[in-house]
Structure 1
Amino acid sequence: MQPSFEDFVAMDAMSPNSQRRPFSIKLWPPSLNTRLMLVDRITNNLSSQSIFTQKYGSLSKEEAAENAKQIEDAAFASANQHYEKEPDGDGSSAVQLYAKECSKQILEVLKRGPRAIEDGEVIKVEKVTRANETFFDISKGQRAFIGAEEAQELLRPLKEPGNSYTKICFSNRSFGLDAAYVAEPILKSLKDQLQEVDLSDFIAGRSEDEALDIMNIFSAALEGCVLKSLNLSNNALGEKGVRAFEKLLKSQSSLEELYLMNNGISKEAARAICELIPSTEKLRVLQFHNNMTGDEGAIAISEVVRCSPLLEDFRCSSTRVESEGGIALSKALLT
């Protein structure tokens, strides 16, 4: 029977000592030699025959070695971060986490399968998430509708205990109602750490009723986050959409960046924005272009501008604003 991951580390910690003296065994951190041995073992697990590779397929030696290094690095970073929180311990809990993370990531890589080849070019597999990553982004690739199953898979890294994500981007993926229900508890669990949220273009192609329900779910889930940046662009919000985000907007008093581009913002929607956001004292960026605001909407937005003394980046082009609205905005910018 092969030794377990924990055995590798424990054996490393029990190297013979020629002098007899009281000592305490520290199981963490493992030596470089132990880490290299583990990488070799993971490589074999990914490329050799087993019940898992028979089910999901095995990787080539080259691809397996590349993934093995990423897996071990990510697991070590996660376990080391855990150990730093309990430096007086013997490191056994860090070793257990190290082993658990490795096993979990091995299975995920096998489920994902080997690299695909398209038009003669190798498509590289997505790198294993590291414990210290702060930006979670699902916007890459083609626009796509996603349901509950896809949401579970895409958002899995956000459920990892101890993750460090402070910025999320859900743009370019159209969430259905079932996917929104999957995202809801995940977002609630991140309330205390999120600082930047990008929900631009995340309901494309949905009916108005479904889109409003989805926006209400996301708004309630994110209510209370202390955000620095919020992007709700490209969602055809209108007044109904703005008010669907009421809970989220009303809880924001520290925003530094707000993006509401290409949202079909009418004069009524502009008034709703002015009404719902409690404070813009820290706002530095307000991008509002390509809307249907008109003069009356511009007058409402001018109140937001007037109450934003730190504003340095303001865009309001292509909003059907004429002289009356333009004058109101100009005066607000001068205050």
Structure 2
Amino acid sequence: MATLTLNPSLPLPIFPLPLPSPLRRRSAASTAARTDGSAPVLPPVVVASTRRRLFIWMLLENHCFVDFNMETASQHFDPRTFSIKLWPPSGSTRLMLVERMTKNLSTESIFSRKYGLLSKEEASENAKRIEDACFAAANEHFNKEPDGDGSSAVQLYAKETSKLMLEVLKRGPRPKEDGEVTVVGESRPLGKTVFDISGGRRAFIDAEEARELLSPLTEKGDLYTKICFSNRSFGIDAATVAEPILTSLKKQLKEVDLSDIVAGRPEDEALEVMRIFSLALEGCVLRYLNLSDNALGEKGVRAFGALLKSQNSLEELYLMNDGISEEAAKALNELVPSTEKIKILHFHNNMTGDEGADAISQILKRSPALEDFRCSSTRVGSEGGIALSEALEACTHLKKLDLRDNIFGVDAGIALSKTIGKLVGLTEVYLSYLNLEDQGAIAIADALKQSAPSLDVLEIAGNEITAKAAPALAECVVSKQFLRKLNLSENELKDEGAVLIGKALEGHTQLKELDLNTNMIRRVGARCLVQAVSSKPDFVLLNINGNAISEEGIDELKEILKASNKSVGVLGPLDENDPEGEGEEEGEEEAEGEEGTAGDEGELESKLQELKV
């Protein structure tokens, strides 16, 4: 039993970490209860990963729990005895902490009212600097601590992070130099063409503040072509002040960013503000329009109707995190009359659903110049996925396709494969978490093999892909010699799939990142992956965390890298690797067939003969 007691008086502006994605991304089929009423069994590596992540998550969440009993926690996972180390945190965990700190440093608080609010850029710089410094200090402490489990290192990490964040908040934003983006109290443009007030404090603004902030727009002789009002919440009085100013700029504006301009406002007031801005800008000949983060819904879309209907030259349209429902999507299809010139169309993080996707597909059919389409996290199922896939055939200039985190399933995956085979200009494809399974993944891999010769990013993570689909994936990879990044994480490729992927990547000199974390890979597969990337001059990260590689296997991987003059840091974090998992699985195999690892390796080698490289 491991017991920790933490000091509740220490501030900790770091928020809870998400549980490992394998638990969040499991399909309905894999999470359903068994017929005998028992709970489904997770792979050993996922269980071990969850134990460790849950403990650190609870540790960082409140900084105040007492006597957390590891034996009690383990009862919820597995009755076996286990031991974990709390340090070091994984790379993804550190990145999450930086993101949380950035958000806290750039959000209005009692400190920002007194000392000023940091811009997102400055907050991000400080967050990275703080995390690096605190990690280094905690890591040095960990190397010296007698207990060796990392608990005191985590406490030091949290304490120092809190202290340094407080110092940054009290110091406030750095003095602005000539040419920088606007901060609170100042509205100087970038080269008299860009007017941006998003860098100031995020707060409601009234008529007086609006008059002061927007005063540079009234000066004669300006050449403003882009305005950004993001990160400020306009009321009706402030919008009324802005209306004549915007009207006076109609003939020169080309880019307008009105994202996040009504945060915290009552619906009626927010809709009226949208109507005021819409009428003021009606008739502008815009190439760029961003209406994201406004919780539009159908009412909001129609409130911007005058502006949308007057646009015939739009090249970029962003409607992310806007509550774009089925009705809102239909309103967009109705109100955006001309999309012939649109090159970028983003609908990320909405509640579009299948019928909404059908409305968006009508827009796609009228967008032959589209190069970048993002419809990720929009709750689109099989029917909507098929509609979008078929509509994308009209977008023959498409370069970047992002459909991540939807519920397409196999049928939509097959429909998408038919379209992908015709999109020869694709350079980036993001198809993670679509429930493609083997059949859908094979169809897409076969389609890509015949198209997209310049593909440099391919992500198909979290699709329940097994070793059955590995030969098709490997042959697809072989045909993509310009790949810079390949992500097949959170699948079930195992050693057989890993060996085939590793063999397929032998000639890819431009590869920089390869991610096969959480794939039930053991020593054999991991060795093949490391051998494949060790000679690549620009390679920076191989993520094989969350697998079941023995300690001896890890040592072997490091020796391979050293022999190739590669830093062992290329391996990335291995904190969620389960070194016991390999032995358990091998033991089961020996009990069944008495073949062991040698038999596995022989079978894997024979599979290589089927791969045409």
Match of 2:313 in 1: 254
What is the DSSP-based 3-state SS (H/G/I as helix, E as strand, rest coil) of the residue aligned with 1:136? strand
Structure 2: which amino acid aligns with 1:159?
T
Structure 1: which amino acid aligns with 2:175?
K
**In 2, Cα distance between the equivalents of 1:165 and 1:303?**
34
Structure 1 residues 314 and 139: alpha-carbon distance in aligned structure 2, compared to 1, 3 A threshold = same
**In 1, Cα distance between the equivalents of 2:301 and 2:173?**
43
Match of 2:249 in 1: 190
Residues 1-335 of structure 1 mapped to structure 2, 5 A cutoff: 119=170, 123-125=174-176, 127=178, 129=188, 132-335=191-394
What is the DSSP-based 3-state SS (H/G/I as helix, E as strand, rest coil) of the residue aligned with 2:246? helix
Deviations 1:100-127 (A, max 9, x none): xxxxxxxxxxxxxxxxx98568842564
Deviations 1:30-49 (A, max 9, x none): xxxxxxxxxxxxxxxxxxxx
**In 2, Cα distance between the equivalents of 1:139 and 1:309?**
33
**In 1, Cα distance between the equivalents of 2:310 and 2:337?**
7
Instruction: Judge conservation of contact 1:131–1:162 (CA < 8 Å) in 2.
Output: no
Q: Which protein is bigger by CA-based radius of gyration?
A: 2
Deviations 1:26-72 (A, max 9, x none): xxxxxxxxxxxxxxxxxxxxxxxxxxxxxxxxxxxxxxxxxxxxxxx
**In 2, Cα distance between the equivalents of 1:215 and 1:293?**
21
Structure 1 residues 302 and 176: alpha-carbon distance in aligned structure 2, compared to 1, 3 A threshold = same
**In 1, Cα distance between the equivalents of 2:390 and 2:310?**
28
**In 2, Cα distance between the equivalents of 1:211 and 1:241?**
8
Instruction: Judge conservation of contact 1:132–1:163 (CA < 8 Å) in 2.
Output: no
Instruction: Judge conservation of contact 1:256–1:285 (CA < 8 Å) in 2.
Output: yes
Deviations 1:141-176 (A, max 9, x none): 331110001001100111111111100000000001
Question: After the TM superposition, which parts of structure 1 deviate over 3 Å for at least 4 consecutive aligned residues?
Answer: 117-123, 125-132
What is the DSSP-based 3-state SS (H/G/I as helix, E as strand, rest coil) of the residue aligned with 2:239? helix
Structure 1 residues 301 and 122: alpha-carbon distance in aligned structure 2, compared to 1, 3 A threshold = closer
What is the DSSP-based 3-state SS (H/G/I as helix, E as strand, rest coil) of the residue aligned with 2:376? coil
What is the RMSD computed on CA atoms of the aligned residues?
Answer: 1.8
Instruction: Judge conservation of contact 1:131–1:163 (CA < 8 Å) in 2.
Output: no
Instruction: Judge conservation of contact 1:286–1:313 (CA < 8 Å) in 2.
Output: yes
When the two structures are aligned, how many residues end up with a matched partner? 219
Instruction: Judge conservation of contact 1:270–1:301 (CA < 8 Å) in 2.
Output: yes
What is the CA-CA distance between 1:334 and the residue it aligns to?
Answer: 1.1
What is the CA-CA distance between 1:252 and the residue it aligns to?
Answer: 0.3
Structure 1 residues 303 and 132: alpha-carbon distance in aligned structure 2, compared to 1, 3 A threshold = same
Structure 1 residues 330 and 170: alpha-carbon distance in aligned structure 2, compared to 1, 3 A threshold = same
Identity of matched residues, %: 70
Which blocks of at least 5 consecutive residues in structure 1 are unaligned?
1-116
What is the DSSP-based 3-state SS (H/G/I as helix, E as strand, rest coil) of the residue aligned with 2:361? helix
**In 2, Cα distance between the equivalents of 1:206 and 1:253?**
31
* TM-score, with length taken from structure 1: 0.63
**In 1, Cα distance between the equivalents of 2:204 and 2:223?**
27
Structure 1 residues 247 and 177: alpha-carbon distance in aligned structure 2, compared to 1, 3 A threshold = same
* TM-score, with length taken from structure 2: 0.35
**In 1, Cα distance between the equivalents of 2:293 and 2:385?**
24
Instruction: Judge conservation of contact 1:131–1:164 (CA < 8 Å) in 2.
Output: no
What is the DSSP-based 3-state SS (H/G/I as helix, E as strand, rest coil) of the residue aligned with 2:317? strand
**In 1, Cα distance between the equivalents of 2:176 and 2:238?**
24
**In 2, Cα distance between the equivalents of 1:130 and 1:174?**
20
**In 2, Cα distance between the equivalents of 1:220 and 1:279?**
19
What is the CA-CA distance between 1:224 and the residue it aligns to?
Answer: 0.1
Deviations 1:71-105 (A, max 9, x none): xxxxxxxxxxxxxxxxxxxxxxxxxxxxxxxxxxx
Instruction: Judge conservation of contact 1:239–1:265 (CA < 8 Å) in 2.
Output: yes
**In 1, Cα distance between the equivalents of 2:220 and 2:177?**
20
Identify which of structures 1 and 2 has the higher relative contact order when contacts are C-alpha pairs closer than 8 Å and 6+ apart.
Answer: 1
